[in-house]
Amino acid sequence: MSDPRTVAVLGAGSWGSAFARVLGLSTSPEPARASEIVMWSRRAEVAEAITERHENPEYLPGITLPTCVRAVTDAAEAVRGAGVVVVAVPAQHVRETLRTVRADLAPDAVVVSLVKGLERGTDARMSQVCAEELGLSPDRFAVVSGPNLALEIARGEPTATVVASASRATAERIAALTAGRTFRPYTNTDVVGVEIGGVVKNVIALAVGICDGQGLGDNSKASVITRGLAETTRLAVALGGDPATMAGLAGLGDLVATCASPLSRNRTAGRHIGTGLSAEEAVAAMSQTAEGIKSVSAIVHAARAHGVEMPISELMDRVVVGDVAVDRLAELLLARDLKSEGRTA
């Protein structure tokens, strides 16, 4: 059996580190909050900085981590005995990471995904990857998503988020682990909707970033954001999600934050592309993963498989692979057939 107060965080990037800080600063009464948070880092120097100096200077410079947070370089060691295992690695590395810890995962551990991407080649959401690789029942999985820019959270700026699980009890347990003075979790049972909201908003943020890079104004960006929410909703509903979720923190809230903030990786990547860089050059110019670039092909493939129209995502996919020049983006978006703006338009 696991220790319910021990949490493992797989991934020591900005969001994984910020989330570890949230866990360590929870104001929930005992025994709802974690007493030990063990992070996994691929790099020994990062693990040492977290354990010895209580900081992650590469990803969260100037931010102090709680003393209950430490880090190791062995993923299996990190999860051993943990009651909650948080996955905070890029989407395309989730499956291989889970395989390395599968044998050491406690049979009653809950897995929490912070990942906002789809797996290329399978179009799988992270809940599906976790179920396949770990044999998880739905009540042992939760996803955290919302307008959660890592650096703002690490600085202690107020934010709200959504914890979704098929089990209300599981969602409430994870919410209690994270609740603090500046971090407010809401619970939901719409895992599909929360996951899709977090995935597609990255692609829409790429488009907004391209608008920025091309010097287009707020009308253009507002149009992309609004129509982007419409196509996100269409895909979520087609996959079984609740359209109401898209009006909340995990839908509109996350979309606005990601599209509006200069801290957004995906908007930054789009801005690089908008100024003339290729997708590969944009990725090389950044130190962190832009999930929109990595996941857009899977999003488009899933949409086509379910007969869902996603014109912005389709264009972003073509831009990423180099089939469409960014200076044609506005022309192609406006060239669609005229139609009514309705709930499913």
Bigger pLDDT: 153 vs 294: 153
- Residue 337's pLDDT is what? 63
Pairing type for strands 159-164 and 141-145 reads antiparallel
Give the mean pLDDT of the chain.
94
Taking the C-alpha atoms of residue 251 and residue 254, their distance in angstroms, rounded to an integer, is 6
Cβ(54)–Cβ(65) under 8 Å? Answer: yes
CB 149 within 8 A of CB 257: yes
Model pLDDT for residues 144-192, shown as the tens digit of each residue: 999 999 999 999 999 999 999 999 999 999 999 999 999 999 999 999 9
Alpha carbons 240 and 289: distance in angstroms, whole number: 28
- The domain 192-334 belongs to what CATH superfamily? N-(1-d-carboxylethyl)-l-norvaline Dehydrogenase; domain 2 (1.10.1040.10)
Domain range 3-189, its CATH number among 3.30.420.40, 3.40.1280.10, 3.40.50.150, 3.40.50.720: 3.40.50.720
Residue 225 has pLDDT above 80, yes or no: yes
Residue pair 60/151 in contact by the 8 Å Cβ criterion: yes
Delimiting residues of CATH 1.10.1040.10 domain(s) in the chain = 192-334
Max Cα separation, the chain?
60
pLDDT digits (tens, 9 = 90+) for 319-333: 999 998 888 877 777
Q: Which of 201, 221, 294, 339 is catalytic?
A: 201
Over residues 296-306, the pLDDT tens digits come to 999 999 999 99
**Does residue 221 have an active-site annotation?**
no
Q: In what order do the strands lie in the sheet with 36-40?
A: 69-72, 36-40, 3-10, 82-87, 110-113, 141-145, 159-164, 183-188
Looking at the chain, the domain(s) classified CATH 3.40.50.720 span: 3-189
> Residue 10 in contact with residue 16, Cβ under 8 Å?
yes
> How confident is the model at residue 166, as a pLDDT?
98
pLDDT in tens, 27-47: 999 889 999 999 999 999 999
What type of residue sits at position 252?
L
Cα angle 123-42-162, degrees, rounded to a multiple of 5? 50
Give mean pLDDT, residues 280-284. Answer: 90
pLDDT, position 343: 57
Cα 315 from Cα 175, distance rounded (Å): 37
Say if residue 341's pLDDT is above 80. no
